[in-house]
Amino acid sequence: MTNEETIENGYGDALSAPFWQAAKEHKLLLQQCGNCSHFQFYPRPYCLECQSDDVSWVEASGKGTVYSQTTVHVQVSPDFNPPYTVVLVELEEGPRLLGHVSEGEPAIGDQVTIDWNEREDKPPLPVFSVA
């Protein structure tokens, strides 16, 4: 697939395509540096800590802590009908990931686990529920 095709199909660009391919199998991938072990998300072609280009994809635990949360009342995408809650989750590995809430009403500091929201013709989106 060309870069344009992957973007059109919801699989991101060449750099983020592995994330979306794994999402199809309900696996959360993060980049980890082979030089200093730093985890990072979103993907970059080099490590943010040591600038090494030895970064590769590894599977994350899918567990984390709510760092921040908000309820959206204004429609910003035709795919999402307000009101809905989104959480910024600090993953066990360190990076923060934004996602919708699938179950419960998580508060800041709550432990959450990842789940996947299936979509038609696109890879699933990560969502979180209270652990």
Question: What letter represents residue 81's amino acid?
Answer: N
Residues in region 48-87 near Zn ion by CB under 5 A: 49-50, 52
Distance CA 43, CA 115 (A): 20
Distance of closest approach, residue 69 Cβ to Zn ion, in angstroms: 30
Q: Which is nearer to Zn ion, 50 or 58 (CB)?
A: 50
Task: Give the number of other CB atoms < 10 A from CB of residue 56.
Answer: 10
Distance of closest approach, residue 23 Cβ to Zn ion, in angstroms: 24
Contact assessment for residue 116 and residue 124, using Cβ atoms and an 8 Å cutoff: yes
Q: Which is nearer to Zn ion, 38 or 126 (CB)?
A: 38
Q: Please tell me the count of residues contacting Zn ion according to CB under 5 A.
A: 8
By CB under 5 A, name the one of 15, 36, 107, 131 that touches Zn ion. 36
By CB under 5 A, name the one of 30, 33, 89, 125 that touches Zn ion. 33
Residues in region 105-124 near Zn ion by CB under 5 A: none
45 three-class SS:
coil
Distance of closest approach, residue 15 Cβ to Zn ion, in angstroms: 17
> DSSP strand E in 45-95: where?
55-59, 63-72, 84-91
Tell me how many helices (H) and strands (E) the chain has.
2, 8
Reduce the secondary structure of 27-53 to three states and give it as a string.
CCEEEEECCCCCEECCCCCCCCCCCCC
Q: Which stretch binds Zn ion (CB under 5 A): 27-35, 70-78, 94-102, 105-113?
A: 27-35
For Zn ion, the binding residues (CB under 5 A) are 33, 35-36, 38, 47, 49-50, 52
